């Protein structure tokens, strides 16, 4: 069974950029980059010595893998166009956390997912060796190829079916997106009072380090809600009368913490 030596990437956003650079750095031939914005395609393609196109019909037809790294809503439409140009007997995968790999089943015989469980921005480097990759495929041959490819990039590669990957994606939204939103609320509060957000950074670091050191989140919860300190909670809510959204978030989280005490 031949391994994946060349990859064409459909997409040029945050995840696509990190995927292209990571693959290229391991010696994989990044054959072509597709983006509906030709300038974006060229910018990424120039980093990895790839062909760049803004019409999917012009993508290289000889790649070992076609990796879809675009918005979930765009994948099926692009997959149908790719099928018309390269046929059904190619290996395809997507980097989505929520979409089933079966979205490709009407068009291709071998397909899967190649999901990196991490938050990405083009401008920020990530140690890809530490990024968990979750691999799904519809047949053993495709699964081995995707697994072996992921192992070139990361030391943390896992075979996981579509449904379990979706569950991890939900958990990741709480661990990352919602946590970052809490930072935004905190920053808004201190900015309003002309206080320095940097004063909170040691607290943010210590909170994260407890979990990274292996402690159980259920056992390290602190604060007025877990103590059922109603006087402090009321004082906080009185202050938050000036910020309806922050107050509603505070109320919901406080009630949730108290109910799980």
Domain spans in the chain, listed from the N-terminal domain onward: 6-160, 166-259
pLDDT digits (tens, 9 = 90+) for 175-225: 999 999 999 999 999 999 999 999 999 999 999 999 999 999 999 999 999
Distance of alpha carbon 137 from alpha carbon 95, whole angstroms: 12
Homologous superfamily assigned to 166-259 = ProC-like, C-terminal domain (1.10.1040.20)
Question: Would you identify the CATH topology of the domain 6-160?
Answer: Rossmann fold (3.40.50)
Q: How many CB atoms lie within 10 A of CB 174?
A: 9
Check residue 260 and give its pLDDT.
86
* Helix, strand, coil fractions of the chain, as percent rounded to 5: 55, 15, 30
State whether residue 157 is helix, strand or coil. strand
Check residue 72 and give its pLDDT.
95
Check residue 31 and give its pLDDT.
97
Average pLDDT, the chain: 96
Q: Give the strand order in the sheet containing 110-116.
A: 51-53, 29-34, 6-10, 65-68, 91-94, 110-116, 133-137, 157-159
Question: Whole-model pTM?
Answer: 0.92
Check pLDDT > 70 for residue 45: yes
Q: Name the DSSP letter for residue 188.
A: H
Check residue 1 and give its pLDDT.
65
How would DSSP label each residue in 74-134?
A: HHHHHHHHHHHHH-SSSEEEE--SSS-GGGGTTT-SEEEEEEE-S---TTS---GGGS-EE
Check pLDDT > 80 for residue 261: no
Check pLDDT > 70 for residue 69: yes
Task: For residues 8-19, give the mean pLDDT.
Answer: 98
Residue with tokens 């990895």: 48
pLDDT digits (tens, 9 = 90+) for 95-125: 999 999 999 999 999 999 999 999 999 999 9
Check residue 2 and give its pLDDT.
86
| Structure-token pair, residue 231 | 């006087």
Q: Name the DSSP letter for residue 240.
A: G
């Amino acid at each position: 069974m031949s391994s994946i030596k060349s990859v064409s990437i459909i997409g040029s956003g945050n995840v696509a950029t990190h995927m292209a650079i990571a693959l290229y750095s391991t010696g994989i031939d990044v054959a072509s980059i597709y983006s509906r914005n030709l300038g974006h395609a060229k910018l990424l393609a120039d980093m990895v010595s790839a062909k760049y196109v803004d019409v999917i019909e012009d993508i290289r037809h000889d790649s070992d893998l076609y990796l879809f790294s675009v918005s979930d809503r765009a994948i099926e439409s692009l997959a149908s166009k790719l099928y018309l140009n390269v046929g059904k007997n190619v290996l395809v995968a997507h980097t989505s956390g929520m979409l089933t790999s079966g979205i490709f089943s009407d068009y291709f015989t071998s397909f899967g997912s190649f999901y990196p469980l991490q938050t990405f921005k083009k401008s920020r480097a990530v140690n890809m060796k530490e990024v968990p990759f979750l691999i799904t495929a519809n047949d053993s041959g495709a699964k081995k190829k995707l697994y072996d490819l992921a192992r070139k990039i990361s030391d943390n590669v896992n075979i996981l079916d579509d449904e379990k990957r979706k569950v991890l994606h939900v958990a990741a939204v709480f661990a990352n997106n919602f946590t970052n939103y809490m930072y935004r609320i905190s920053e808004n509060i201190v900015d309003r009072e002309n206080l320095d957000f940097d004063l909170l950074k040691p607290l943010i670091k210590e909170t994260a380090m407890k979990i990274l050191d292996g402690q159980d989140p259920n056992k390290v919860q602190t604060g007025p809600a877990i103590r059922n300190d109603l006087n402090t909670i009321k004082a906080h809510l009185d202050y938050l009368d000036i910020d309806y959204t922050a107050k509603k978030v505070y109320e919901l989280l406080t009630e949730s913490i108290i109910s799980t005490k």
